[in-house]
Chain A
Amino acid sequence: MSRKTLIPIGPYHPLQEEPELFKLYCDGEIVRDIKWETGYNHRGIEKLSESKSYDQVFFLVERICGICSTSHPFAFANAVEEIVGVEITDRTRYIRSVIGELERIHSHLLWLGLAGHFLGYNTLFMWAWKYREPILDLFEMITGNRNSYAMFKVGGVRRDIEKSKIPSIRREMGIIRKKLDLLTGAVMDDPVIHARTKGVGILTRQDIIDYAAVGPTARASGVDIDVRRDDPYAAYPLVNWKVITAEAGDVFAKIEVRLLEMYESASIIEQCLDALEKLEEGNIALKINEIPAGIGTGRAEAPRGEVFHFVVSDGSNSPARHKIRAPSYVNIATFKKSCIGQTIADATISLAAVDPCYCCTERMAAAYDSSSGEKILNANELIEISMKRTKELRKSEAGHE
């Protein structure tokens, strides 16, 4: 007779888009089923949006998620501009892309650090977050805030990237490339990371299609989708870059995809800066006096996947309906495939791999299974199990050499 133990993870994860409660049903050390509950982070944003003017909604959608706080304004701007039917200026396109790609670098570094932390590789955590700081400094220089940049408005952007600021952004891109080489080396050369992440949390191509997963999660399983290329917006059709994919679908492939995407982002930013140098300063926003009645859809590629905004306008100064779909919403469902059949230690990193912001460090409660009365692990114990496994592997690796 097998008795299932319930392990709750959550509900408070400081870095997730939506705090959720995950329940892992375990048989011994093997995860047999997973369930989740949402609603802890429900703020009624879609409803709030209907009470705000189009200019104010940008500040609201920016605060859906602080980590990808440009993706939502990006998608909303695309949606409203579709209703108005305007083409933004080239300079605006380049500025928007620079902000979007800087954000991708900072978000991927953040995720890489957290993934390292879950594996018990805290040096990687500290390195990645250290090298993320200069990116936030760039944001502060360009937009005036480290997060929540308030750069977007209908028909343009709020602040220009002046010529005087371009050299320092360019210099920082050079530095971040070197740091990325270092981080890539740290990940690719470590046999323990290979052992912990290869063949773990595999999502096949069919799983991705079944669950409609998006972003790096899908690209790591060989599904070649990227809104930046498939439904071009901003400056992405104007610069050279490629969509990174991997075939394996395991955690290692997801690390690989994200690392390589950061190089692409740096290259996109440099090309945008080249173009910005040639264009004249100013002329960063079109004057739009009225939003006509109509329906608009906007898509943008956030660091985690496709953000989708649907806006209905009735001709007044606030949206009549505003529907938002964030990438984590679909990506989280893939846990059903990636975690079941794994050990608890591997489930932690499998969960972390799908959503870049999975952090359960202080958010899990110890609890008792009502049917068996068995003690259930708390957050720190779960991470300890994961760290212990890495240590053991490290020891056995050392033994082989």
Chain B
Amino acid sequence: MGFKDHCFRKSLWVFHFGGASCNNCDIEILDCLTPRHDLERFGILLVGSIRHADVLLVNGSINRRDRDRLLELYRQAPKPILVVAIGACGCTGGIFAEGNTFAGPVDKIIPVDAYIPGCPPKPEAIISGIVKLAGKK
């Protein structure tokens, strides 16, 4: 078992970065933590600081103003860190990819480990994506 496996074997702490999104993915991510899905039973916890996080969730299209802040967050993150792009906008830019302020998609800015498509992805899809990612490593 390597170092990375060891890091991601137990409870994953998640930091959530919402770029220029429409909030749909954001509320679905929060929804994962509320009673119906209750991700905390697996030890998955949303944390307030990137310095405590194992996973960086990024959703929303990234505009020019968000871009530098996302880079800075990635720089501050403890390595190894898993980056997950959530939603159509996070994966490709979605409907906003043609916008004049668009600076993404996420994988052009920072390396991405997993993509969870959907507009917005259902909480089940988000949970399944994270579980697959944790299992793979």
Contacts and interface: CB of A to CB of B under 8 A. Distances in A.
Interface centre among A15, A48, A66 (most CB of B within 10 A): A66
Interface residues of B, number: 40
Contacts of B65: 39-40, 42
A43 B101 contact: yes
Contacts of A12: 17-18, 69
Contacts of A63: 22, 24, 94-96, 119
Interface stretch (A126-134, A276-284, A288-296): A126-134
Contacts of B99: 43-45, 47-48
Contacts of A379: 48
A148 B20 contact: no
A25 interface: no
Interface string B39-61: 00000001111000000000011
Chain B binding surface SS class: mixed
Contacts of A66: 21-27, 120
Contacts of A148: 22, 24, 119-120
B20 A380 contact: no
Given A12-B18, A130-B34, A44 B48 contact: no
B28 interface: yes
Contacts of B119: 63, 145, 148
B109 to A, nearest CB: 15
Interface string B60-80: 110101100100000000000
B100 to A, nearest CB: 4
B98 A40 contact: no
Given A14-B29, A66-B23, A43 B63 contact: yes
Contacts of A234: none
A147 B120 contact: yes
A330 interface: no
A44 B23 CA distance: 16
Contact of B95 (A42, A60, A129): A60
Contact of B26 (A14, A60, A64, A130): A14
A362 B58 CA distance: 13
Interface in A37-74: 39-45, 47-48, 51, 59-60, 63-67, 69
A147 B28 contact: yes
A40 B61 CA distance: 11
A295 B71 CA distance: 43
B48 A362 contact: yes
A353 interface: no
Interface centre among A14, A39, A60, A129 (most CB of B within 10 A): A14
Given A60-B95, A361-B48, A380-B48, A129 B16 contact: no
Contacts of B48: 361-362, 378-380
A183 interface: no
B63 A65 contact: no
B89 to A, nearest CB: 8
A17 interface: yes
A15 B31 CA distance: 12
A69 B100 CA distance: 22
Nearest to B47: A362
B62 to A, nearest CB: 10
Contacts of A43: 20, 61, 63, 96, 99, 101-102
Given A12-B18, A133-B36, A44 B24 contact: no
Contacts of A363: 18
A157 to B, nearest CB: 19
A110 B27 contact: yes
Nearest to B121: A146
B36 A130 contact: yes
A148 B89 CA distance: 14
A130 B123 CA distance: 14
Contacts of B15: 362
A139 to B, nearest CB: 12
Nearest to B34: A129
Nearest to A131: B35
Given A60-B95, A362-B16, 16 more contacts: A11-B69, A12-B17, A14-B18, A39-B65, A40-B63, A40-B65, A40-B66, A42-B65, A43-B102, A44-B102, A48-B98, A63-B96, A65-B22, A129-B34, A148-B24, A378-B48
7 contacts: A14-B30, A19-B20, A40-B63, A48-B96, A63-B22, A66-B27, A378-B49
Shortest beta-carbon contacts, A-B, top 7: A66-B24, A14-B26, A129-B34, A44-B99, A66-B23, A66-B22, A130-B35
